[in-house]
Structure formats: C-alpha cells, structure tokens
Homo-oligomer: A and B are copies of this chain.
Amino acid sequence: MGLRLIPREEKFFEMFVEQAETIVEAAHLLVSLLRDYSDLDHKVMMMNKIEHKADEIAHRIVERLNLTFITPIDQEDIHALASALDDVVDYIDATVERMVLYKIKQPREDAEHLATILHRATEETRAAVGELARFKRSTSAIKQSWIEIHRLENAGDTASRTAIANLFETESNAIEILKWKEVYEHMETAIDKCEDVANILEQIVLKHA
C-alpha cells in the first residue's frame, strides 16, 4: 500500500515473523487451557483459528516463492522453514485435539509444566526468526537464541520423562496411560519442532557465513 517499495527479501522476513507469531499464540493458548480447563469449545475454536492462520501464511510464503526470482535465502530453506514453523502449530493443535478426542475430563498437573517449557521455546523461536533479517550483519543474537532453544528442548525432554514416570506410577488404567502418554508426546514433539526451526536457521547462517 502507498508508494513505499518494500524490497522483496524483506517481505519474506516479515511473513516469517508473522508465522512465528502464530506458534507463540498457539502455545500461549495451550497454557491457558491447561490452567483453566473450562469453556473448552471456545478455546478449541480459537486454536483452530490460529492453525488456519498459520496455514494461510505458510501458503502465502510458498506462493510468493513462485513469483520471486531473487530471494535472500535459498528457496529450499524458505520452504523448510515455513514447513517447520507450520509443524509447531500443528503439534500444539494436535495436543488439544487429542485431549478433546479422548474426552479428557481434567488435565494432569505435569501437563502445564511441559506446556510452559513449550511456550518458552516458541518465544525463543520467534526471537530467532526475528533475527533472520539481520543475520548477515550479526549472527550473535540468532546464535544465542538457538542455544537457548536447544536448552529448552532438553528441559522439555526431562519434563516429559518425569510426566510419563509419574503417569505410570500413579495411574493403573492402561487406557488412561495410553491417552496421556500421547498428549505428553505431542507437546514434546512440538518442542522438538522448535528445535528443527533452530537447526534450519543454523543451516541458513552457516551457508551464508
């Protein structure tokens, strides 16, 4: 809009930041839902909205890729990054979906702790994506972020392990174990996908070093 011309590359960085916002929104909503497990239908609807927005941004990125001949980073990396960010939202959405599908009445305590780590990982991932526009001038901030994301992935691993150990110790109903194990694993995978984003960013930086 207006006469200001935005260089093509900046457009990509902007769209990635927009997409990274959706992963923070989704994780934030998951934490709220676990803290206050009421009004579930409304929260699920909001999650679906976030998921559709994330999808729509990913498609816009790929479409623009078709029209752009000069891109700041390799087409393949743009593709990989858009799809990894999309995966984060998908797994957060799937976590909530499973809780609904399995008619879970009340969240277990460990779930919130795991979701909080996930939330932190999405915030750090957003920060790293935000640094992408600047990485040719300075890589220190983006490196700092991916180190933190790796740390959070480890924390998520430990939290998920503890949650599963507690589950097997305190729950005797195999069907309940089956359900919760999957919910925990979906959250852990969402965190892993943040790490995938970090790894792709690392690769991009390495290529342009």
A interface residues (Cβ-Cβ under 8 A, vs B)? 62, 65-66, 75-76, 79, 83, 97, 101-103, 161, 164-165, 168, 172-175, 177-179, 181, 199, 202-203, 206-207, 209
Contact = CB atoms under 8 A, between A and B. Distances in A.
A209 B66 contact: yes
Contact of A207 (B75, B102, B174, B175): B75
Best-surrounded residue of A97, A103, A206 (most CB of chain B within 10 A): A206
A83 B177 CA distance: 32
A111 to B, nearest CB: 17
B101 A203 contact: no
Nearest to A79: B203
Contacts of A83: 199
B206 A79 contact: yes
Best-surrounded residue of A65, A172, A175 (most CB of chain B within 10 A): A175
B174 A168 contact: no
Contacts of A161: 97, 101
Nearest to A171: B175
Given A97-B161, A178-B177, A102 B206 contact: no
Contact of A203 (B76, B203, B209): B76
Contacts of A181: 178
Contacts of A168: 101-103, 175, 179
Contacts of A178: 174, 177-178, 181
Given A206-B65, A206-B66, A101 B164 contact: yes
